[in-house]
């Protein structure tokens, strides 16, 4: 069994969904209920995955660890396809995730409302450019991984929901919208949302 430290709705959602897709048992721990989470991860960020005696940090590193450890359609064995899957995971984690992260930073650190809105709009424009890249990649397939969802599709779907927290327009193309809806309809995605909601109610 794995232990996963998470924050509700955060990028740790993707880790939970993938672990469930891999058929793994998970104990989830809400970091808000930990007195000093930085004793577990000095950076203070989720996810943190406990695998035996190892405490793993950094979302993309954790994702690659579990995908390498448990074979599945989420991570192809063919060398070329696997390299593309890794690239997609890194795009999600290192490019799209920080782009959304700027929205949170700006909203929390700018007091002047007009300046805040202008900078949020600029950040949203950058995000929309990234979603155009995703739309282009989906031109001839349903998911980044082909006919079935990949880990990157799951990661991007989690991030896509964050725009709703801000007064900005995030624009998804037709193919992207279809992909995001399909991923959110996955039983293990729904199960993860329900598990987090149940934990927050305790």
Across all residues in the chain, what is the average pLDDT?
Answer: 96
User: Looking at residues 169-195, what average pLDDT do you find?
Assistant: 98
Phi/psi of residue 130, nearest 5 degrees = -70, -40
User: Looking at residues 175-180, what average pLDDT do you find?
Assistant: 98
| Token pair listed for 137 | 């990649």
Rounded Cα distance between 127 and 109, Å, is 19
User: Looking at residues 155-174, what average pLDDT do you find?
Assistant: 98
pLDDT for 187 beyond 80? yes
Question: Which homologous superfamily does the CATH classification assign to the domain defined by 2-72+188-200?
Answer: Glutaredoxin (3.40.30.10)
pTM for this structure? Answer: 0.96
Task: Kindly report, residue by residue over 111-157, the tens digit of the pLDDT.
Answer: 999 999 999 999 999 999 999 999 999 999 999 989 999 999 999 99
For the chain, give every residue range classified as CATH 3.40.30.10: 2-72+188-200
Residue of 56, 55, 163 lying closest to 102 (CA atoms): 163
Q: 159: Cβ–Cβ under 8 A, 6 or more apart, which residues?
A: 11, 92, 96, 97, 100
For the chain, give every residue range classified as CATH 1.20.1050.10: 79-186
User: Looking at residues 159-185, what average pLDDT do you find?
Assistant: 98
Task: Kindly report, residue by residue over 89-110, the tens digit of the pLDDT.
Answer: 999 999 999 999 999 999 999 9
pLDDT for 202 beyond 80? no
pLDDT for 175 beyond 80? yes
User: Looking at residues 48-52, what average pLDDT do you find?
Assistant: 96
Q: What is the pLDDT of residue 201?
A: 78
Task: Kindly report, residue by residue over 72-84, the tens digit of the pLDDT.
Answer: 999 999 999 999 9
DSSP-derived 3-state class of residue 126 = helix
Beta-strand runs (E) in the chain? 2-6, 26-30, 48-51, 54-57
User: Looking at residues 56-68, what average pLDDT do you find?
Assistant: 96
Q: State the chain's maximal CA–CA distance in angstroms.
A: 52
Question: Domain 79-186 maps to which CATH number in 3.40.30.10, 1.20.1050.10, 2.60.120.10, 3.40.190.80?
Answer: 1.20.1050.10
pLDDT for 26 beyond 80? yes
User: Looking at residues 153-167, what average pLDDT do you find?
Assistant: 98
pLDDT for 60 beyond 90? yes
């Amino acid at each position: 069994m794995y232990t996963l430290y998470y924050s509700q709705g955060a990028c740790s959602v993707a880790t939970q969904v993938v672990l469930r897709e891999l058929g793994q048992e998970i104990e989830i721990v809400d970091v808000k209920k930990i007195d000093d989470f930085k004793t577990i991860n000095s950076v203070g960020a989720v996810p943190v995955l406990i695998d035996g005696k190892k405490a793993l940090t950094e979302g993309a590193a954790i994702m690659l660890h579990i995908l390498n450890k448990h074979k599945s359609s989420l991570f192809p064995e063919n060398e070329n396809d696997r390299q593309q899957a890794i690239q997609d995971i890194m795009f999600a984690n290192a490019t799209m995730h920080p782009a959304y992260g700027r929205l949170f930073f700006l909203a929390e650190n700018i007091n002047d409302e007009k300046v805040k809105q202008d900078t949020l709009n600029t950040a949203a424009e950058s995000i929309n450019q990234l979603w155009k890249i995703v739309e282009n990649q989906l031109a001839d397939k349903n998911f980044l991984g082909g006919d079935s969802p990949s880990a990157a599709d799951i990661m991007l779907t989690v991030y896509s929901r964050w725009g709703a927290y801000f007064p900005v327009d995030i624009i998804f193309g037709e193919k992207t919208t279809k992909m995001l809806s399909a991923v959110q309809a996955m039983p293990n995605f729904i199960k993860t949302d329900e598990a987090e909601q149940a934990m927050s109610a305790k």
